[in-house]
Structure formats: C-alpha cells, structure tokens
Homo-oligomer: A and B are copies of this chain.
Amino acid sequence: MKNTFGYSIAVTLFGESHGESIGAVIDGLAPGLEVNREYIAHMLTLRRPEGKISTPRKEKDEFRIVSGVINDRTTGTPITILIPNENVKSGDYSQIKTTARPSHADYTAECKYHGWQDSRGGGHFSGRITAALVAAGAVCRYALEQKGIRIGTHIKRCAGVSDREFGDLPADIASVNARTFAVLDEAQGEAMREAILAAASEGDSVGGILETVITGMPAGVGEPWFDTVESMLSHLMLASPAVKGIEFGAGFAIADMRGSMANDPMRMENGQVVTVTNNNGGINGGITNGMPILFRTVIKPTPTIFKPQDTIDFKTRTDAVLEPKGRHDPAIIHRARVVQDAAAAIVLCDALAMRYGTDWLGENK
C-alpha cells in the first residue's frame, strides 16, 4: 500500500523536502490516549540537526495537529499532523535536476516518475520526510510508554568507533532517550563526533550501526507467516532512507555459532518465563517471547559529499561529474536513531491492536 503502513493502526506519510508541508495521518489509534505535544516536540528535537556534525539547514519543526485530537486526547479517528517546511532554498539544488547524485534516488525517481518528480532537495525521498514519521511515531510511542513498553536506540558504531553494549536496560534506555547524541558511553560518543568532523573536514561522510531495544512487550504478539514481528519491523525499518540492513538478536554473528551456543536456554524467574541469553532478540517463530526485542540497523554514509563524483546526466544520457553544493550532513546516524524508535513504535502499536483489539492501548472513560 505504498505510503500507508499497518492494518489496525495505519500510518500514511506525505510531503516533499521543499514543498509546502510534510505530514502524517495515524488511523486506528484507540480513543482516549493522551497526546503529549511536548513529547512530540522533544522527539522532533532529537531528529533535528545539531552543531557542526549536521547540515546547517535548521527547521523549527513546528507541527500542527489538524484532526483526531481534542483537549490533547485522541478521539479514535484519524490524527493528522502537519509540519510546514519553512527554511527552503530551492536554488541550491538547481544543478542536480538531471545530474544524478550517486547513491541517491535521483536516477531511480526518474525511472519511476519520468521527469515529473519533485527533485528539489530529494523531494519525497528526502530524509526530511522522516520528521513526519517521527511525529506520528511519537504519538504511538507515548501510548506504549503508558503501557510500560519502552524503546531505546543507541549509536552502536559510527565512523569506526564503537559504543559499549546495552547493560542495565531501564537505566540505559532512559539515558539514551535523554541525549541528543545517543551513546551509552559518552567518551565513545565524543570520539565518534571527532571522527565525523574529521570526515567532514575532508568533504566526506560516515555511516554506522544503530541498536534498538524494546522492553515490556507481552509474549504472544505477532504472526508465524508472513507478518512476523521481525518482518513488520524490517519492512518499516528498511523503508527509512539510508538503512541497508537489519539483524535481530545475535544477528549476522549467529552464522558462526553452533546451536548449543546460539540457543537461548529458558528458565522460570519470579514466576515468569525468561531466557538466559537473548540471541533471538525476543522473538521466536515470529512471535514475541516476553524478552526484550533487540535489533540493529545499518545506516550508510550520507551520499552527499563534497568531492567530485562520476555520474550520469539522465536527460542527455551522457557521463557527467557532480560537485554538489548546498547544505548537507556529514552523518545522519545520530538523527536517524529517533526515526527507528518511531518506526518501531508504529509497528508495535499495530501488532498490539491486531492482537488485543482497538481499545487495548486506550483509556475508557
């Protein structure tokens, strides 16, 4: 269904980088949920560029909720969030109209839209659209928190520097959610930022790996075929710009384990079923097992760099060289992490509503 995702709770995204507004419609959320505007604003702040390691483009990301909410409570009908684009300089992008930026969507957009696409700033393909996803996800995420379901993402690796592993989950989740640059070990975060600046000073960009953990999910949510929790999360995560892979639990490293090491032994603990290890990332057979859901996504380096690049002009169909100007990010991973949180929140809300009905997340009067 393209720009709409979800069955019971469906999110529709719209907008272009340099159009009038971007936005999202969230349909199906239970009535009576608190919509916390400060919380949404905070999540948008986490996505916004900061300091020297990001694009100089600044957006206030002031959002308006134009439907579905009264007195900061959901009505149960579609919630529409609009975010106007304020700080638009179309002129910067004049060169790229037919000269494809390598590893951007310029050429594929041309193949699909035959020259009618909005190419200003990446148009509908721009990372800017993720602001709408973050806003929509923030509404879902706040609802999950009221049910004790918490999401946290840290920058596990960036520009060759690694953060420490997740340890005490409640504390670590609280910690990363309070930080603009989401690392568990601040010294490593400082090293990452330095490495980003080093790349930027050479006109280059860097990527990294995000790690997300979700606690509090009840066991028994998800479907065996084809709508496993892993499938639904992967579907939405891989739709975000720059994400090129996802792995759950031990992930690709499980390839080199034997079954006796990879299997998660189980035991009773305080009357609850738990696993001793969590190599399966909280999901077996596509269904939650009550342990934390754990996954990592890989973020490619920002494709816009300040070096000449070989490319093609898709109008003249000739070789060309691109030397981009404008404002761009040497890294987006620190901004992408709140996008992953938002996407995860949407998937979980939908899965929970399918499982327990449309009222489950809400508060009945």
Segment of A6-14, A39-47, A138-146 engaged in the interface with chain B: A6-14
User: Which B residues are in CB contact (< 8 Å) with A257?
Assistant: 207, 300-301
Asked if A23 is an interface residue, CB under 8 A from chain B, the answer is yes
Query: Is the pair A67, B116 in contact by a Cβ cutoff of 8 Å?
Result: no
User: Which B residues are in CB contact (< 8 Å) with A365?
Assistant: 114-116
User: Which B residues are in CB contact (< 8 Å) with A357?
Assistant: 354-357, 360
Known: A15-B80, A19-B66, A107-B289. A305 touches B260 (CB 8 A): yes
User: Which B residues are in CB contact (< 8 Å) with A117?
Assistant: 31, 75-77
Query: Is the pair A273, B317 in contact by a Cβ cutoff of 8 Å?
Result: yes
Identify A255's interface contact among B12, B82, B209, CB under 8 A.
B209
Query: Is the pair A263, B356 in contact by a Cβ cutoff of 8 Å?
Result: no
Interface residues as binary, A281-308 with B (CB distance below 8 Å gives 1, 0 otherwise): 1011111111000001011111111010
Query: Is the pair A103, B1 in contact by a Cβ cutoff of 8 Å?
Result: no
Known: A260-B307, A312-B267. A67 touches B287 (CB 8 A): no
Query: Is the pair A103, B263 in contact by a Cβ cutoff of 8 Å?
Result: yes
Asked if A176 is an interface residue, CB under 8 A from chain B, the answer is no
Query: Is the pair A266, B5 in contact by a Cβ cutoff of 8 Å?
Result: no
Query: Is the pair B75, A266 in contact by a Cβ cutoff of 8 Å?
Result: no
User: Which B residues are in CB contact (< 8 Å) with A246?
Assistant: 234, 238, 245-247
Query: Is the pair A258, B199 in contact by a Cβ cutoff of 8 Å?
Result: yes
Query: Is the pair B108, A289 in contact by a Cβ cutoff of 8 Å?
Result: yes
Bound Cα distance A359, B356 (Å): 8
Identify A225's interface contact among B108, B239, B310, B364, CB under 8 A.
B239
Segment of A49-57, A118-126, A179-187 engaged in the interface with chain B: A118-126
Query: Is the pair A4, B31 in contact by a Cβ cutoff of 8 Å?
Result: no
Asked if A338 is an interface residue, CB under 8 A from chain B, the answer is no
Known: A219-B108, A226-B239, A244-B254. A77 touches B124 (CB 8 A): yes
User: Which B residues are in CB contact (< 8 Å) with A148?
Assistant: none
Query: Is the pair A112, B287 in contact by a Cβ cutoff of 8 Å?
Result: yes
Query: Is the pair B251, A245 in contact by a Cβ cutoff of 8 Å?
Result: yes
Query: Is the pair B255, A67 in contact by a Cβ cutoff of 8 Å?
Result: no
Instruction: Report the nearest B residue to A109, measured CB to CB.
Output: B285
Asked if A104 is an interface residue, CB under 8 A from chain B, the answer is yes
Q: Which of A350-364 contact B (CB under 8 A)?
A: 354-360, 362, 364
Report the minimal beta-carbon distance from A360 to chain B, rounded to whole angstroms.
7
Asked if A168 is an interface residue, CB under 8 A from chain B, the answer is no
Some 10 contacts from A to B, beta carbons below 8 A apart, are A20-B67, A109-B285, A199-B258, A204-B260, A205-B260, A234-B237, A244-B247, A252-B296, A261-B301, A280-B300
